[in-house]
Amino acid sequence: MDLSFISVVPVTYGIFLLFAVIAIASAFLVVSVRSVMHSALFLAVFLLSVAAMFFVFDADFLGIVQILLYVGGVIVLILFAVMLTSRVQSHLLQQTNEQKFPAIIVCVLLFIMLSYAILTSGLQGFEKSVLQGGITGDVGRLLLTVYVLPFEVASVVLLAALIGAMAIVGKKDE
């Protein structure tokens, strides 16, 4: 085997492909298993494989944020909601409504449209990217200098979401 031109791109492409296959498989299982609890656990697998893909793409800060917020926060929220709202129901209940066939048609049409858009946009293949040694410092600097307005607006949005969620769920005293 001719290994004389081993550059970074083919090796990381193989690793990316592995995690991409895991992600696609677990995403497909999320939308097709019968029990919502299994769906939530497959969603956790999916989010972890997405975080692994972020690490492959040199976005280590984003991968850690993904694990903290999504796997540690959103999955916990979803598991709480699933456990609070599922009575003892038979697992033979169908989890998909009767619109499976139109949904498949819609998805195939969207796939054709998206692939046409991607293939005719004139993108070249891989370029060799500048390998930074991790991006956390750059991201921190950018968040506080160039992107400080979205940063502050995001904190206001989070505050509004928090208050809204509590207002929706809070019981009135009757």
Partner 1 sequence: MLFLIGVYGVLTRRNAIGILMAIEIMFNSANINLVAFNKFLNLENSIGIIFPIFIITLAAAETAVGLALILSIYRKLKSVYVEKMDLLKW
* Residue ranges binding partner 1 (CB under 8 A): 23-24, 27-28, 30-31, 36, 39-40, 43, 46-47, 50, 53-54, 57-59, 61-62, 65-66, 69-70, 73-74, 77-78, 80-82, 84-86, 94-97, 99-100, 102-104, 106-107, 110-111, 114, 126-127, 129-130, 135, 138-139, 142-143, 146-147, 150, 154, 157-158, 161-162, 164-166, 168-169
- Which of 16, 45, 13 is closest to 29 using CA atoms? 45
- Cβ proximity to partner 1, 4 vs 85, nearer residue: 85
The least distance separating partner 1 from the CB of residue 120, rounded to whole angstroms, comes to: 17
- Cβ proximity to partner 1, 3 vs 128, nearer residue: 128
| The pair of three-digit structure tokens given for residue 23, joined into one six-digit string | 């992600």
Task: Report how far residue 164's alpha carbon sits from residue 85's, in angstroms, rounded to the nearest whole number.
Answer: 20
| Type and span of the H or E element at 9 | helix 8-30
The least distance separating partner 1 from the CB of residue 163, rounded to whole angstroms, comes to: 10
- Cβ proximity to partner 1, 1 vs 118, nearer residue: 118
Task: Report how far residue 140's alpha carbon sits from residue 61's, in angstroms, rounded to the nearest whole number.
Answer: 10
Q: What is the three-class DSSP state of 90? A: coil
- Cβ proximity to partner 1, 18 vs 39, nearer residue: 39
- Which of 28, 60, 64, 65 is closest to 45 using CA atoms? 28
| The pair of three-digit structure tokens given for residue 162, joined into one six-digit string | 């928090």
